[in-house]
Structures are given as structure tokens and as C-alpha cells.
Amino acid sequence: MTDQLTQDIEDDEFETDEDLGQDAAEPSSNASLIASIDWDDGGREVDQTLVGAELISAFQKRLPNSPGVYRMFDEASAVLYVGKAKSLKKRVASYTRLAGHNNRIMRMIRATRHMEFVTTRTETEALLLEANLIKRLRPRFNVLMRDDKSFPYILVSDDHEAPAIFKHRGARSRKGSYFGPFASGGAVGRTVASLQRAFLLRTCTDSVYETRTRPCLLYQIKRCSGPCTREISLEGYAGLVGDAKAFLSGKSGQVKQSISRAMQEASDDLDFERAAVYRDRLSALAHIQSHQGINPHGVEEADVFAIHQEGGLTCIQVFFFRTGQNWGNRAYFPKADPSLEPGEVLGAFLAQFYDDKPPASLVLLPTEVEDRELLSDALSDRAERRVEIAIPKRGEKKDLVDHASANAREALGRRLAETSSQARLLAGLKETFNLAEVPRRIEVFDNSHISGTNAVGAMIVAGPQGFAKNQYRKFNIRGQDITPGDDFGMMREVMTRRFSRLIKEHGDAGPERVMEPSPDEPADTAEMPAWPDLVLIDGGKGQISAVRTILKDLGIADKVTTIGVAKGVDRDAGRERFIVEGREPFALPPRDPVLYFVQRLRDEAHRFAIGTHRAKRKKELTKNPLDEIGGIGPSRKRALLHHFGTAKAVSRAAFDDLLKVEGISAAMAKTIYDHFHERQ
């Protein structure tokens, strides 16, 4: 319904540079939701000199009494707020005066310099569109989800004669049955391993399956039934797949009873070996259910939410129950104004949370939220089945909510302790290195390569909340004039690309361009600035000199503080020397907390750089020469490998031999032959 509403409000707001990879969450599955919206600015005849409440009042006079979504902009054309309304005219009218609003809303009204609107057919459409826009635009005055990582699922493929079971994360583009969500990849891995023992489903890729001539080790250790070499018939394997799907769909009792009956029949027939197989399968199923934590008896499928507010921060805890089992929980710390009530924060959070996730048939909440029925209708429309949102008052469901509330309280307590510790470390960093202000954004750079091959640069970001992993960036080193292994040249390329992009997107005025948080806004909830207050370089005088030269050439040397972290004598941790402009290189006392903090930052950059390098190297090692030939898809590649055995054999094949492969025409055979025999 809303999939035709939105895609590309403003392409520049979301475009990304392919150089700057991002280790962050997958894009929303509703990325197509922002499609060709015809935004109405209320009429160009509105006096452009008006600001704040007067400007809003001028727009309000021209609005219809229909449902829709509105956006408020500041003087820099940044989105301040996205809201939805059953009646745009009545909703926007509430902003035409300052009286009766809290400080947050008054600041928003005063900062408004422009508005845009879109009408929708229903209020449900408006709710879904609002949630998607908030996630994409991240307006300063909305409640924002901070952790938007994708959830892992179990996938049982349906596009193969012998379906496989996989851990899956990302867009659901492959045909198959998806079960989840699970709170962590580890929970999925453990469940898949147990399902292998219980149902003997394969976990190999389709290409490995096609090339097997004898059973693999998993068959030998009774983790697979061996459909690749027909150790089990396809009909028998289909029965195992059906049992696995039934178990994951909530029919675990029926599946266990069926296996138990089969075990008893085998025992009665004195076929104790077959009975032992069924016994092991029952044991594996019991193992899955025994490791799920609390397992409710009367709740088959539910998402349980709880919220706790303290110290100006908010924690929302989510538990996932599927097939009567606890599939894990996750804590979120949304950005929300401290003046908002728990129900207001939770209601805004739910709409964003389910923007790209399928809801359970039952959603349990600890408190009433605004537009609960509307949200239920929206989720039902999205899921194409009834989704109930309930606030239990007693019984097992109330116990689940109370358990989630206890976890939310404990998670927020840990977060407050970490934030306090982080604040002290940042203050210590300011004193140690004589910085002008306590840094709100620290960027750390490192390179990784092996003798210059597969070279990558990495940038990690830290701030008052610790590591900001959605801000991490990786750089594939592409400079043709860089000598392999030239760390200075690599760092020059990374810094040039990083800060050239930063100047292009945010101007060259440096950190002072960032809007400071208001006095009543906790530091933890303030948006991280785009410009770094401090740049740490993993290297000595040569590295830091190269970096400062680049910054000087870009005209921002006096706006970015750079510090080099040189490895100590014998490269021992704890004996690092710091290169700060205007001071002689110095070391910190071995037990200084600031030293440990910098080491943590440096080690995280090192970890991220090495991980990125290894991923790139692995991709190079596993690259098949046939992938470079235009027109060779999976089917033709499979046919060639089946015929010749290896890609090297294909490269040595004669033209006439290539013609003998099924699906290879004369033109394609010539293309393949010419690819490997250019000199001839």
C-alpha cells in the first residue's frame, strides 16, 4: 500500500560514495517506501520572511482536513521534525502558538523556517510513511532509534531439490521459508547446529551440493542425511525438511510425538540402530528448547517490550518469543527528549522498529501508547494478518512484561555506568592533550595490508556513548602511484578522501558548524557532530607529518586536532609515544587511564582494519576466473565445471572441447577461448 508512496525524497540526502563502505545495518526493506512523493510546500505565495509560529500559521491556513505527513525545516534546510496527522490542518494548528508547549517544542517552533506536506489516503498510510521518513532523515526533534542492526533469521531454501538450512541476515530475496527474528547471530548458529542433529538437513551451498561425488564429513558424523549422493531419497529428505519447518513453525509437540512413535516402532521391530537415530533426534530437539531461557507455556508467538527511564536516558528492551520458545532479547537506547513520557517514547519507537521487521501476531506492552489501535491496524496491513497490541494486567503475559522491565532497568543501569566512565575518560583526554573542549567525536585511522596487497584504510569513531559503529568507514586503497607497502602514501590517500568528502558535505568551517545541544538536553542524547574534534593516527612522526600536510593543503589544518600514536620500544603496549603539534613526543605513565583509553581506540581501529583486509583478501582468493567472462552466469559456470572439473582446466580447453559443453554455443565458446588465449 505505502510501497508506492516513497523512494527518493531527495537523492543527495541518501547518496553514498562507493569508496566509503559502511559496517552498519542493512538498508531498510522499505527503502522503496520513499518513492516519488509529491511534497506540497503550502504554496509559494507564503511570505518567505516569516519565521517560527507566524510561518507555521501561514502554512496552516492552506492545509486540508485530510490525513498526511508534514516536515519542518530549519534555516540550513535540515529536517527538524517529521510528524503525521489525522487532519493536517488541525495538527499543524497546534504549532501556531508557543504557549502550552514544553521547551523542546518551543525550540522546534522557533527554529522552523519552512514546511512541506504530503496527503495520504488513510491515517494508517501516514503512520507508516512517518516511521520510514524518521528512520531515513533522522530529524533532531523526533524520537530516534539508535541501534538499527538487522536481525538474523533461519532460512530453509525452497528453490532447490534438496532444501538447505542457513543462517540469513539481510534482504529476503531468496525463495524460501524464513523463521525468526533471533536476537543474535550466536543464537541462530546454535539453533541451526541443533537442527542439523535433529533433522539432518544440509548446510552446504548449492554449488558444493552439485559437485559432490561422495558424502562429506557432516554425513559421517551424523549431521547430514547426504541427499547430494542419494544416501537418502529426495522423498525421504523432503519429509525431514517438512518436520524441520513444522518444528520452527510452532508444532514442536507434534514433531516430537511423531519421532517418539517412530522410535518406539523401531524398538518393537528390534531395529535398535534406527531407534538410536530417533533417540538422538529427540535429544537434539530437547537441547534446543532447554537453551531458550524462559519459555512461556501459554504464549506461542509474541514480541514483548519494556521501557525504563532514568538519568535523562531511555532503555527499551525487546524479547522475541516464537514457537513457544524464547529466541533472545535486545536492548535499545533511543534518542528521546527527557520530558517525554514513557508511552510517548515507546509509541514512536514501535513504529520505527517495525518499519523493516515482521511483527509477531501478539505485541505485549507495559504501558498505553498513543494511537495503539492505529498502530495495530498498520502492522496488520503490513503483515497481511491480524496483529494484536495488548497491555497485560495479570497472568503469564504480565510476568513476561515484568521480566522484560527488569532487564530494561538493569541494561540502563549498565549504560549509565559506562556513560559516566566514558565522560571521565573524555575529560581526561582533554586535560592530557590540552584540547580546547572535551571531544564529542574522535576519529582513529589505520591501514592494513600484506606487502602492499589488498590494502585498505579504516576509520573508527568514538564519542560520549563509546564506539559509534554505524559511523565506521573503510577505504579501498586505489592510488596507482602508491608503491606497494607505502604506509605514508596510503594514509595520504585515506585522509584526502575522508576530508575532501567532509568539506563537500558539511563545508570547511570545522566542528564549530555543529549545532550544540541545548542546556536541558543530556550530552548522551546529543547528535554526534559530523566533524571530528580529535583525529588519532596509528603511526609516528612520518605518518602524522603526511596527515598534517594533507590537512594544510585542504585549508583545514587549524580546524582539526591531530595526534600520532607511535608504538613503543619493542612495540610494547604501554610504552606508546604521542606526537602532538608544538610539543616534544612524550609518553604517559603505564597505569594512566587515558593511556588505556587511547590503547582501546587504537586497538579497535586495528581490529577493524585487519578484519576489512581479511575480508578483501578472502574475496580475492575465492574469486573464480570464470566470473570475469561476460555472459557466464551460474548455470553456464556450473556446466563448465561439471564438464572440465576446474576453472584451470576450462582455461586450457580447446575450442572444440568447449563446444561439447551443454549450453555453450559457438559464440560463447569463442568468447571463453579468447578470454584465456589473448596472445594467440
Picking from 574, 601, 620, the residue at the C-terminal end of a domain is 620
Regarding whether 646 and 549 lie in a shared domain, the answer is: no
**Single residue among 137, 171, 189 that ends a domain in this structure:** 137
Q: Are strands 6-7 and 302-310 parallel, antiparallel or unpaired?
A: unpaired
Q: Are residues 28 and 63 in the same domain?
A: yes
What number is the average pLDDT over the span 515-521? 44
Residue 323 has pLDDT above 90, yes or no: no
- How many folded domains does the chain comprise? 5
Instruction: Give a yes or no: residue 421 inside a domain.
Output: no
Q: Quote the pLDDT of residue 623.
A: 64
643-656 pLDDT, tens per residue? 887 777 888 888 88
Angle at 205 between CA 204 and CA 208, to 5 degrees: 85
**Whether 367 and 231 share a structural domain:** no
Q: With 70 as the cut, is the pLDDT of residue 316 above it?
A: yes
Q: Name every residue whose Cβ is closer than 8 Å to that of residue 621 and which is 6 or more positions away in sequence.
A: none
Is 318 a domain residue? no
The answer to whether residues 167 and 133 belong to one domain is no
State whether 173 and 256 are in the same domain. yes
pLDDT for residue 51: 85
Output the domain CATH number for residue 575. Answer: 3.30.420.340
Q: Say how far apart CA 419 and CA 644 lie, in whole Å.
A: 60
**Does residue 582 sit in the same domain as residue 490?**
yes
Q: What is the pLDDT of residues 108-141, one digit of tens each?
A: 999 999 999 999 988 988 998 998 899 888 898 9
DSSP symbol at 589: -
Q: Residue 655: its pLDDT value, please?
A: 86
Query: Do both 198 and 252 map to the same domain?
Result: yes
Domain check: are 494 and 355 in the same one? no
Give me the domain span that covers residue 525.
433-620
Q: The domain spanning residue 122 has which CATH number?
A: 3.40.1440.10
Residue at 420 is within a domain:
no
Q: Report the distance separating Cα 676 and Cα 668, nearest Å.
A: 13
Q: Write the secondary structure of 245-284 as one string of H (helix), E (strand) and C (coil).
A: HHHHCCCHHHHHHHHHHHHHHHHHCCCHHHHHHHHHHHHH
Where do the H-state alpha helices sit in 563-633? Answer: 593-621
* Domain presence at residue 548: yes
The set of cell numbers assigned to 491 is: 594514509
User: Is 595 domain-assigned?
Assistant: yes
In the chain, pLDDT over 70 holds for what percent of residues? 83
Query: Taking 90 as the threshold, does the pLDDT of residue 305 lie above it?
Result: yes
- On whether both 616 and 494 belong to a single domain, the answer is yes
**What is the number of alpha carbons within 13 Å of residue 424 lying toward its C-beta?**
8
Residue 247 included in any domain: yes
Residues 603 and 671 occupy one common structural domain: no
- Assigned domain for 530 exists: yes
Rounded CA-CA distance 198/245 in Å is: 12
Residue 84, in any domain of the structure: yes
Residues 507 and 376 in one domain: no
Residues 514 and 378 in one domain: no
Residue 646: what pLDDT?
Answer: 79
What average pLDDT is seen over the chain?
A: 80
Dig out the grid coordinates for 662 from the structure.
551443454
Determine the Cα–Cα distance for residues 284 and 424; give it in Å rounded to an integer.
48
pLDDT at residue 364 tops 70: yes
State which of 137, 168, 186 marks the end of a domain: 137
Would the pLDDT of 99 be above 70?
A: yes
**Domain containing residue 668: CATH number:** 1.10.150.20
Q: Whose grid coordinates read 509529491?
A: 38
